[in-house]
Amino acid sequence: MIVMQKVFDRIYQEVAKIPKGNTATYGEIALLTGTTPRVVGYALHANKDPKNIPCHRVIFKDGFLAKGYVFGGAGEQKRKLVAEGVSVINNKVMTSSNL
C-alpha cells in the first residue's frame, strides 16, 4: 500500500502542475511518473484534494473526456474545462494538450 501511495503522490504532483486552461493525457502523466495510464486513472479517481490537484485537466489520448469523472461526470469535467477557456465539442477537447 505504501508503494502505491508513493506512485499516487507522484501522479498528484504532476497533475498539480497542469496550468489552468491546459490539459494532459493519462498517458502523458503516466510517462512522467513511471506508471501506466490506468494507474493514473485509479489515482485521480481517489483524489481527495480536487481543488489543488486539478484532475479535470486530464483527458484520454484521443481528446475525449472521462465518462467516469468522479467529481460529477463528463458534464462537470467539461464545464470546468470550458470555464478555463478550453474548447470542448461533443465531449472532446479541441485545443491541444499542453503539459
Q: Which residues are catalytic?
A: 55
> What is the spatial distance between Cα 94 and Cα 14, in angstroms, rounded to a whole number?
22
Q: At 25, give phi and psi (nearest 5°).
A: -95, 160
Amino acid at 20: K
Alpha helices in the chain (DSSP H): 2-16, 26-33, 37-45, 73-83
